[in-house]
Each structure stands twice: as C-alpha cells, then as structure tokens.
Amino acid sequence: MTHALDDADPLAPLRDRFVGTDSRLVYLDGNSLGRPLTVTAERLGMFVEDEWGDRLIRGWDEGWFELPLTLGDDIGRVCVGAAPGQVAVGDSTTVLLYKLMRTAIAARPSRTEIVIDRDNFPTDRYLAMGVAAECGLTIRWLDVDTTSGATVEQVAEAVGEQTALVALSHVSYRSAWIADVPAITRVAHEAGALVLWDLCHSVGSVPAELDAWEVDLAAGCTYKYLNGGPGSPAFCYVAERHLDTFTQPIQGWMGNTDPFLMGPDYVPVQGIRRFLSGTPAVIGMLAIQDMVALIDEAGIDAVRKKSEQLTSYAVELADEHLSPYGVTVASPRDPARRGGHVTVHHPEMQEVVTTLWKRDVIPDYRDPGGLRIGLSPLSTSYDELERGIDGIRQVLDGL
C-alpha cells in the first residue's frame, strides 16, 4: 500500500534497505531495538568467512584494534557533533555510565552531591544511587513532569557549590522531551559542576553538538536508532579538554599505555582510549558501522526533519482517532521539544499492547499506562504508522 506522505518523502527509498520492511508487520518500537540492514546480514557472513575465518588473529593488526576509535570518530562526526579523538565504542551503556560518573566524582573530590531527575531511565538512577553510596555522596533529586522533563530552571535551583555532577538524558525515555543541553550545561558549569548526558534515546535521531555545547561527558547505546543489534556495544564521549586529567575506574588492559607489553603497572594511555577496559566487541560494531554510514548518506538533519514529521503525524492521528477513547498524548506537542517517539496514555494500555503484539503490531509499554510509538526515521513509513494507530483504535474499541 502506498501513502501520499511516503510518496513525497525523499528518504522513503532508504526503507527498502532494512530487513523485514516488505512484510505487513507494523513495527513501532525502533526506539528500543532498530531493524537490521540487509547489507549487515551480508557483511556478517563475509566477516566470518574472510576477516575472522581467513585472517584470524591478524585481524587485530588490520583494523580491529583501532575499530573502537575509528567508529567512535564516525559517530562523533555524523551524529553527535564531536571532533575526532573524543568518542570510543566499548562496553554496555551501564558500564560506560558508571565509568563516567566515577570519573566526574573523582574530578570534583571536594564536592558531595549528584543531581539527577526521578524520571531518568532506571539504569541512570540506579547507578547514581550506587555511586553515591560508594563515594559517600548525596543525591539531589529533581521532580519533573513525566510528560516533559528536566528544565533549565529546575537545574539552576538544584545546583550549588556542593554539586559534583549533573546527570540527565538528552531525550527522555518516557515522554521524548528534549532537554536544553547547552543551557543546562552552562548552568552546571557556572556552579563548578560537571555534566553527563545520556544520549541513548537521541543518537541517530536527534542531532547533538557536544563540542559546541561544551558538554563534559556523554554516553549512548547503539541498538536503537544506530541499529547495532541486541546487546551491541555502547559509546562514550569525553571532551578533549578533560582527556589529559580524567581517568576511569575500570583499569583494563585495552586502556593501558602499551596493552601488549603486559607490564606490571597500569599507566593510562593518552586520549580517549584510556576509557576502554577490555577487548572490544568487534562483531558487535559491524552493524553500527553500516547504520552510521547510512545516516551519513541521508544526512542527520534530514533524518531529524523526517523524525519531526513522523511524530507530528502520530500526534495528529492520536488526536483524531484515539482521543475519543480517552487517550491523551503524554509527549511534548512542540516538535522542537520532542524526540523520536510519542507516548500516548490510557489506563488500559498494558492490555492494549499485549493484544497488539498478538496481531503483529509492535509498540512498547511503559508504566503508568503509557504506549510508546517509536518511529525510526529511515525504516518507518507513514503507511506503517497509520496502520499502527488504526490497530490501537481497533483494540480500544473492543475493550
């Protein structure tokens, strides 16, 4: 089926490069796990036969050893506005956030507080609580509107001379609220604090300008809009101005000055490599490379424009077809303040999502009563979105 909006979409032809987009399944959960690219399926087989199977251990000297940094530079250039030498790929998001939190705390040894919002992603909150307990710090919680997120004014009121770290998300996982990163970062810096931004729900969908915004630290996952696959390694950003003095707490051989010397002492290598710990997940980086290349081809600004148009259409359809059933939009209505998904609320949404999955319509659910419509700009069509909204309507009509 064709749709007038798809016919007019300059990025629509790129949808054919993803596995499964020719099926009738409606996939509205790309903000949790992105579809794989067909080129990745081919590449993985070639990798097993050629690079791994033929080159074997020689692969480390032929590109694998540098891949966390070369791919990091690509992510920095294409997606997050970071000059080379500041982004590295490796570990899970949780491990990297832990490293960066401990790094920031160590860099502000006389300070005693971490500022974070109560509606941040659970991992971020749990890590902050754990780091605070380890280091004898206090959490200063921000109580935010769950249909939006942390504001500049809230952060300004919370930070002070005891603030070591402010840890927030660029895009809220629940509401899709886009934080004012440059303004919040300036407010934290004026108080002498460092700022750590979680980019998990923005990278690959909402552009960032980490260098221009003077961000200190950032981390993000790669299995959502970067389509790296389940469990693909995350990435971290450390601003160049900090690289000579910041160290991280998980001292592994890949972050040592000479990993293959196998010497008795750990001496952190210069540059972003010092934030690596163990052997990098080479296979896990292959799909990320393919998706970053596709975003580069499309242009991150064009991706963002398509994202705004998709989410605006989702809000329009929800207002027209779902509001008669008592559904409300629990995301910002201003597309400039909204990331790549739209959350709609109804008390029975958990039951609705369970039924939808049985009908091959795949959104996701977040308490309390939130159905998230995740829209990947390069793989989601307007027709698919419209069929998904109609599926939600049909289930609500049968309640």
Whole-angstrom distance, CA of residue 118 vs CA of residue 2 = 43
Rounded to 5°, angle at Cα 271 from 267 and 274 = 45
In the residue annotation, 225 being an active-site residue is answered as no
Catalytic choice (198, 216, 290, 364):
198
Collect all residues with Cβ–Cβ distance below 8 Å to 85 and sequence separation of at least 6.
Answer: 69, 73, 240, 243, 271, 272
Residue with tokens 């290349």: 293
Catalytic choice (223, 225, 237, 246):
223
Residue with tokens 């939009």: 329
Residue with tokens 């007038």: 4
Distances in Å between the Cα of 2 and the Cα atoms of 6, 8, 28, 384, 386 are 7, 11, 18, 10, 11
Distances in Å between the Cα of 305 and the Cα atoms of 220, 259, 308, 337 are 21, 43, 5, 13
Q: Which two tokens stand for residue 347?
A: 């008390």
Helix or strand or coil: residue 305? helix
Asked if 376 and 30 touch (Cβ cutoff 8 Å), the reply is: yes
Whole-angstrom distance, CA of residue 292 vs CA of residue 70 = 12
Whole-angstrom distance, CA of residue 302 vs CA of residue 37 = 19
Q: Residue 311 is inside which H or E element, if any?
A: helix 300-317
Residue with tokens 């163990």: 278
In the residue annotation, 198 being an active-site residue is answered as yes
Catalytic choice (121, 313, 325, 365):
121
Residue with tokens 């998230």: 372
Classify residue 124 as exposed, middle or buried by CB count within 10 Å of its CB (0-12, 13-18, 19+): buried
In the residue annotation, 99 being an active-site residue is answered as no
In the residue annotation, 372 being an active-site residue is answered as yes
Distances in Å between the Cα of 197 and the Cα atoms of 120, 134, 170, 320, 326 are 11, 21, 6, 35, 35
Catalytic choice (35, 372, 382, 393):
372
Catalytic choice (224, 273, 338, 393):
224
Distances in Å between the Cα of 56 and the Cα atoms of 4, 52, 64, 65 are 50, 5, 11, 13
Asked if 231 and 38 touch (Cβ cutoff 8 Å), the reply is: no
Q: Hey, which residues does 302 pair with through a beta bridge? A: none
Catalytic residue IDs: 121, 198, 223-224, 372
